Amino acid sequence: MKKFNTRELVFLALLVSLNIVLTRIASIRISIGGIEGIRIGFGAFPIILGGIMFGPTAGGIVGTLGDIVGYFINPMGPYMPHFTFTAALIGIIPPIILKPIKTLIPSFWQLVIAIGIGQLVSSVILVPYFIQLLFHLSMKVTLPPRIITQIIQVPLYALFTRIILDKLHLALKFKAN
C-alpha cells in the first residue's frame, strides 16, 4: 500500500471535507417514491480528483470516508454500505483506466473517457440497481435522469480536473499518478 506524506494527507482530508459539503449540503435532491432517487451536484468531483491525483487507493479512501463521515454528520436515511462501495468506486475506476497513459497530465478526452466509465459503472448502473434492490424502486424510473445528469456532469468533471491538474502542476511541480 502506498504511504502518503503529510501534504498528501492534508490534501486528501480537504477533498473528503469538500465531498461532504458538496454532497450533503450543496446539491439538489429529487425524491422519487419517497426516497432520494436523484442527486444533482458536484459531490463526486473531489473523489474523482483525489483518485486521479494520488491513485486509486486515495480515491477509494476519499469516497469511503466522505460517505461514512457524511452519513454521521448529516444522515439521509439508514446507513447503506452499498452506496459507500459505489462512492469508493467513483475514486478507484478513473485512475485505473488512466494508469496505462504515460503523459504527465491526461488530456481532456482521456479524462472524459476515464471519468465517464467510472460514472457509468457507479452512478448509472450500480446506484439505480442498489436503489431497486433495497427500496424496490424500478430502474426504469431512476435510470433515465441519471444518464442525462452524467452526460452533463462528466465533461464538467473532466474540464475541472484538467484545469486543476494544470494549475497544480505549475504551482507545486505536481505529478498526477
Domain extents in the chain: 6-172
Question: pLDDT tier at 175 (50, 70, 90 boundaries)?
Answer: low
Neighbouring C-beta atoms of residue 81, cutoff 10 Å: 11
Most confident of 1-10, 99-108, 121-130: 121-130
- Dump pLDDT digits (tens) for 74-118: 887 889 999 999 999 999 999 999 999 878 889 999 999 999 999
Report DSSP letters for 11-80, one per residue: HHHHHHHHHHHHHHTSSEEEEETTEEEEEESSTHHHHHHHHHHH-HHHHHHHHHHHHHHHHHHS--SS--
Locus of grid cell 468506486: 89
Please give the pLDDT value at position 37.
57
For the whole prediction, is pTM greater than 0.85?
A: yes
CATH topology of domain 6-172: Arp2/3 complex 21 kDa subunit ARPC3 (1.10.1760)
Cα torsion at 74, 79, 117, 170 (round to 10°)?
40
